[in-house]
Structure formats: C-alpha cells, structure tokens
Chain A
Amino acid sequence: MSQLLRLATAGSVDDGKSTLVGRLLYDTKSVLADTLDAVHRASADRGLSTPDLSLLVDGLRSEREQGITIDVAYRYFATPKRSFVLADTPGHVQYTRNTVTGASTAQLGVLLVDARNGVVEQTRRHAAVLALLGVPQLVLAVNKIDLVGYDEPTYRRIAKEFTAHATELGYPESNVVTIPVSALVGDNVVDRSEQTPWYDGPTLLEHLENVPVHADAEDAPFRFPVQYVIRPRTAEFPDYRGYAGQIAAGQISVGDEVLVLPSGIATTVTGIDSPHGPKQQAESGESVTLLLANDVDISRGDLIAAAAAPPRVSDEFDATLCWLGDKPLRAGARVLVKHGARTVQALVTELRSRFDEQTLSSVDEPESLSLNDIGRVVLRSAEPLPIDDYADSRRTGAFLVIDPADGGTLAGGLVGAPLSQLDQPEIAEAEPAAQDLVSPGP
C-alpha cells in the first residue's frame, strides 16, 4: 500500500469547496502561523468576524477579486499515516477542463454538494469525468449539513441518489463513500461531529487515511517508455548503454524477456539501475535505467514492453478526447499526439460522438467538439504507436493532443472508450432537452 495519496476535489460554485480544503489544512495543523495571520488580517479587512478559511486556498489575485477559484491548485498535508497531494479543482462550469487535469493523476476524488441543493448537474458531470479518467475511489461530501439542521433524511436522500449515479458510471458500491460535513463549522472533516449521531461512518480525514490505494496499473503487463539513452563514454564506463525511463505499468525483473516497440525486436533485461544502485526487480512508478542483452537500436520514444503481453501497435485508433482548447475541433484537423515519450503528427479523421454527461448519452457525428466537450474520435498517426486501452493502463493508454501551430495543449486523450456507459445512443424523445444541455459554454 502506498503511503502517498493523490486526490482531487471538485464541486459546484458556492458548495464551499475552498472552505473544505481550508478546513482540512487547518484541522490537520498544516497551516502555519504567518499564513494564518495573513488570513485573519484579510478576513478582518473584509469585515468578517471569523477567519474565512477559503482565503487559505484562493491564491491568485484575479480569483480573490471574483471570489471564484480559476485554476488547479495543489495543496500538501500530512498525518502520521499518510502524505497527501491534493489537486483543488475549480467548480465553475467553464473551467471543467481543470477537473480533467486534477483527475488524471488522482487515486481518489472528493465531490462536494450543498446539502440544501443536493446532487446537481455539475455533480453528475464531475462524477462522470472522474469515472472517465479512471479515478478508482469516490467520496461525496454532503456539505453545509448544519444549514439543513443536521437532518438525517436529507443526507440519506442525497447519498442514495449519488450512489445510484456512481454505480451507473461503473463504480462498485464499496468504492463510493458519502459523508455529512460542515466545512465552515468543521463537522466530520477531521473531527467527528456531535451533531450527527445518526452517522457512524468515518470522518473525511479518517477515510483518506485508510482507503486502500494502489499505484497505477501495478498488476498490468510491463510498460516502459524510453525517455533518454544514457551513454557516458567515460574512462570508467566506456561501453555503458542504459535506457532511462519511469515504469508506466507492471513490473520488471533481471532476466525478463521484453519487446522493443514499434520495431518489435526481442531482447532480455540484463540489469536494472535505480537511484539507489543496481536492483533485481522494479515496479510501476519507479524511475530506473534498463540494461539489455543485445546492442539494439533504441531511442527516446520507443516502448519496452513485456514480451508475453505486448500492447498493440497501430497507426489508426479510436480514442476519447477531453477537449481543452478554445478553438473547436473539427474532423480533418491536423494535430500532434504526445504518447509516452514520443510525439507524432496525427490526423483526426472522424468525430464519432459527443457525450452528454447530464443524460449519460451521446450525440452521433457532431459537427465539432468545443471547450469542455468530451467525445469519441478516430485518429490516424504518421507513425505507428504502441498503445493500450486507457481502461487497462492509465499511463500507456493516455496521450496529449497538441496544437502544431502554437504548441498549446488542446486535449487529453484516452485510447478506446473507457466509459462505455456514456456511449449509448440518446433516447429519441429526450433529444430536444438533451440538445439544450450539451453546450456547457461560454
């Protein structure tokens, strides 16, 4: 079990997400005196009588002026059990792309709802995004429980509705936890509330400390994108030739048979150099240097994979794109694809469908994909790529779509259709309403 938990938070505007994160930092004593002084001063300047904990996390001046969080912010806190890296993602509808960013590396997602409003469109959308990106664990914090008088039936109703939604997205019930909290007062965030005697589950922090987490794809077949070839050519190491990278999936031992892709050359691992010296075995997440038996031609961008279970090598593949660019995507667009350590030219040959996260259905053959849209496409790459389905490997099934003109990141790409539940045709009679909902703009 890993002792580092990466989590992402998401919620609608005004659900009190910044306050919840502020509360986690405050109650785990992760806020230090000078930071707290600054928050006290700023709160007093605004005429508030108690410190506004959201000021601990709302960083950029423009968002403090607007009172909304506009970009992913990373927070760090630790307890004796675990260290936490928290990606605090904005809730405003036009910044959903940040939820995708935060979710891409998260092992657990915390969603927030206002107990007075229950599960809303944004909640459904964010849960779908977390499911799509393969975040294995979900937590729903039913916030502002104090404002509904700590009413159990209200909480139960919201919990039931959310759990049903998450199950529909493919989550086993054991991976979905709901908790009644008040970030403002501190109920059930770190300390157990005396106001919710009817709730016998963990507090948010207790859950974060104890939830089982695993490295990405640790049970999957071995995948190793070569980042850099290490050739010292020094007196001490005249013939050393090592292939440096971070293990993207599975594990490797000295003596294992591997394939180098896309060339398909077979060879054997003769040594593993790690930051702590040579070792016999290494696993997913470790940065190592591999030594191979044959003097084969390998360069940055190649993939070393388990010989028994190699990925498919293809120059045409289905993918799901989370479109993050301001300019819409249309069929025929020329883009760059960065997969592992390789960047290749590619053509978007087809737009197959666009998902409607609200109705969990899809619109076929859309004209375009706009900012915040998620859709199925077909890509053709100039060179064959060794790819896995995202559902099998979050690292080697993921890629970036890059604008060849200005180098901007246009989309996060997932090989295949990791959320098949989303790929259902719309029910005919729901069409007009669904059309209204597809555009989250501006």
Chain B
Amino acid sequence: MAETLAVTDNLDALESEAIHIFREVAGEFDRPVILFSGGKDSTLLLHLALKAFWPAPVPFALLHVDTGHNFPEVIEFRDKVVAEHGLRLEVAHVQEWIDDGRLQERPDGTRNPLQTVPLLDSITAHKFDAVFGGGRRDEERARAKERIFSLRNAFGQWEPRRQRPELWNLYNGRHRPGEHVRVFPLSNWTELDVWHYIERENIELPQIYYAHQREVYLRDGMWLAEGPWGGPRDDEKLISKTVRYRTVGDGSCTGAVESTAATIADVIAEVAASRLTERGATRADDRMSEAAMEDRKREGYF
C-alpha cells in the first residue's frame, strides 16, 4: 500500500510540472509545436497538453518528421489520434528531401540521422518558436544536463555553454529572431514513471509496444523487422518471434525485444526488472560512440 502511494504522489508531482511547462509556453511563445510521431513519449506529451488546456483545445500544432521507414500500425494510430482531438498535423517527409537532393541516403540505409535537416527546415518554414519534445534526462548521459527550456541557435544547434541556468520553476524562453527553444516537459520522468502514468491514465498506445508475433532478423545484436530499409541481407535469416518494441523510431535501427508482455502491467513488470536501458536495448544509432548523443544534439537533433 505504501508503495502504491509513493508512486501516485510522484506521478502527481511530475504531471503538475509538465502541465505548468505547457502553460508557460502557451503564455510566452507565438508558434509552439509538439513533435508527434505516435510513439509512447509523444502520445504522453499530447495527453498532458490536453489536460493543461481542458476544456479548451490544445493551442498548438503537431509536427511529425517522417523517415518513411515506419511501422504502419504507428502511422494509423497517429492519424486516428489527430482526428479524434481535431488537431492540425504537419508532416515533413524525409523522402522529399532525398528526392530533391537536399539529403542523401546513407550507405547503411538508416534514416534516423537524416531527420535533423527536415526538422530544422520545417521549424524555419512554419516559424515555430517553441518545439516540444518527449526527451527525458534519464535516457542518456548527455541528456542528463539538458535544460527544460533548451535554446537553439538559428542553425538549430545546442551549445552547452549558452544554456541558461534554470532556477526554481521560472523558465526563460526569450530568444532572438530565427532562434527557437526546445521544450522538454518530461525531463524529470523515468521510463518507469512513463509506464506507471500510462497505466494510471489508461492511455492508448500503438499495439507494437505490446507482445506480438513478428518476422524479425538478427543484426548487431538487435531484432530488426523486414521493411523498405533494406533487410534482411542474404546472410540474415528471418524468424518468427514473440516481440515488442520499447521505443519507436526509424525502422532500420529500431530493434524489437523478445517479450511476452501483453498488457501495461506486464510491461511495467518487465521494465522494472530490465537490465538494459531503453535506448541501449533498441536504438542502434546511440551505440555508435560514447559521445554519439552529444554530437547529434550539437547538430540540432532532439
């Protein structure tokens, strides 16, 4: 009983903090946008935004940087949620940037790093001045020092030494024309907090977060699904496994984990006992080097 109470109090505090952040941004910025992929963190962000402004509609648009390497269930879910709440969704298709030569396909077929340019181009084109992301400080060491309001220069770059001290709950969102602020309302949540909250609020997620049968092949220690991103190679064999996804990103580098967790409660039990962090388990792009995330953040990635 005492344990349940602790979780509830903790979740109430995190929920209140996130709602406060959404309202600050609504009060101080002209054109905020929520990055929304249909994944669990962005679905949680939207859930909190809906609460922050109820009974009025969410006063922000949504933006999805679509690598084209999607899980169809997630896109279907994304569109359903958008329609349900009468929201406006902008989609930046990485494919368009590749087609007109602004970007080049990488030899390894991974499109996650290619999201940065379409993201920045969209921010500029739509004049977005605040961009909500679902990043959490517990995900990775470079993120542990991220601010809740993270200033980006006109090139979208994050400069560690220009980040402002954040005192009390007074956020400073001032920026020069062309600059924007990335805002992370889930900064202080852990992966387990996210799942406990999803359970408490009974938030619907795409089915791929729960155990299902899928044809997968093994690459670099991860179970990848077949798809337009060029797998499996001749030396890689497709096998049917019971799996689920802990994160949802570009299909070429988002791995499934073997799991029989079919419900939210199963997932919580699995996450609580897990020996791998979310990113380490399933995101090949974070494994590249010890400073991988720091480098990508400097380039303007989330």
Contacts and interface: CB of A to CB of B under 8 A. Distances in A.
B55 A97 contact: no
A82 B193 CA distance: 13
Given A35-B277, A287-B52, A80 B172 contact: no
B27 interface: yes
Interface in A106-132: none
Given A62-B160, A285-B13, A100 B6 contact: no
A338 B170 contact: yes
Interface string B44-58: 000000011111110
Contacts of A245: 20, 23
Nearest to A403: B174
A38 B170 contact: no
Interface in A44-66: 57-62
Interface in A318-353: 324, 336, 338, 341
Contacts of A33: 275-276, 280
A395 interface: yes
Contact of A85 (B52, B160, B188): B188
Interface in B4-19: 5-7, 9-10, 12-13, 15-17, 19
A83 interface: yes
A81 B3 CA distance: 7
A300 B27 contact: yes
Given A76-B190, A287-B23, A398 B276 contact: no
A399 interface: yes
Contacts of A392: none
Interface in A276-311: 285-287, 289, 300
A412 interface: yes
A400 to B, nearest CB: 5
Nearest to A397: B168
Interface residues of A, number: 69
Contacts of A83: 6, 10, 193
A287 B176 CA distance: 30
Contacts of A285: 13, 16
A104 B168 contact: yes
A157 interface: no
Contacts of B17: 287
Interface string B149-188: 0000000000010011111111010111000000000011
B32 to A, nearest CB: 12
B6 A81 contact: yes
Contacts of B53: 228, 230, 244
A105 B168 contact: yes
A305 B175 CA distance: 31
A79 to B, nearest CB: 9
A61 B55 contact: no
A42 to B, nearest CB: 7
Q: Which residue of A2, A76, A105, A408 has the most chain B CB atoms within 10 A of its CB atom?
A: A76
A34 interface: yes
A403 B177 CA distance: 16
B26 interface: yes
A232 B57 contact: yes
Contact of A394 (B9, B20, B168): B168
Given A32-B277, A285-B13, A341 B167 contact: no
Nearest to A69: B145
A40 to B, nearest CB: 12
B27 A409 contact: no
Contacts of A227: 20, 23-24, 26-27
B55 A237 contact: yes
Contacts of A240: 55-56
B235 interface: no
Q: Which residue of B164, B187, B281 has the most chain A CB atoms within 10 A of its CB atom?
A: B164
Given A32-B277, A76-B137, A4 B10 contact: yes
B202 interface: no
Given A32-B277, A232-B56, A398 B160 contact: no
A426 interface: no
B168 A100 contact: no
Contacts of A85: 188
B294 interface: yes
Interface string B248-264: 00000000000000000
B20 A100 contact: no
Q: Which residue of A3, A4, A57, A58 has the most chain B CB atoms within 10 A of its CB atom?
A: A3
A357 interface: no
Nearest to B287: A34
B169 A98 contact: no
Contact of B169 (A35, A60, A71, A246): A246
Contacts of B240: none
B27 to A, nearest CB: 5
B167 A59 contact: no
Contacts of A58: 141
A230 B55 contact: yes
A245 B22 CA distance: 10
B90 to A, nearest CB: 23
Contacts of A233: 56
A175 interface: no
B144 interface: yes
A74 B187 contact: yes
Contacts of A70: 160
B16 A287 contact: yes
Contact of A42 (B5, B170, B290): B290
A398 B55 contact: no
A346 to B, nearest CB: 15
Closest 3 CB pairs of A and B: A407-B174, A34-B280, A59-B141
Interface of B: 2-3, 5-7, 9-10, 12-13, 15-17, 19-20, 23-24, 26-27, 51-57, 137-138, 141-142, 144-145, 160, 163-170, 172, 174-176, 187-188, 190, 192-193, 274-277, 280-281, 290-291, 294
Given A228-B23, A275-B16, 16 more contacts: A2-B9, A4-B9, A33-B280, A35-B277, A59-B142, A59-B145, A71-B145, A72-B165, A74-B137, A80-B2, A232-B57, A236-B55, A246-B16, A246-B19, A275-B19, A341-B27
16 contacts: A32-B276, A33-B280, A34-B276, A76-B137, A80-B6, A100-B167, A105-B167, A227-B26, A240-B56, A246-B16, A273-B54, A286-B16, A287-B20, A287-B52, A407-B174, A409-B165
Interface of A: 2-4, 32-35, 38, 42, 57-62, 70-76, 78, 80-83, 85, 97-98, 100-101, 104-105, 227-228, 230-234, 236-237, 240, 244-246, 273, 275, 285-287, 289, 300, 324, 336, 338, 341, 394-395, 398-400, 402, 406-409, 412
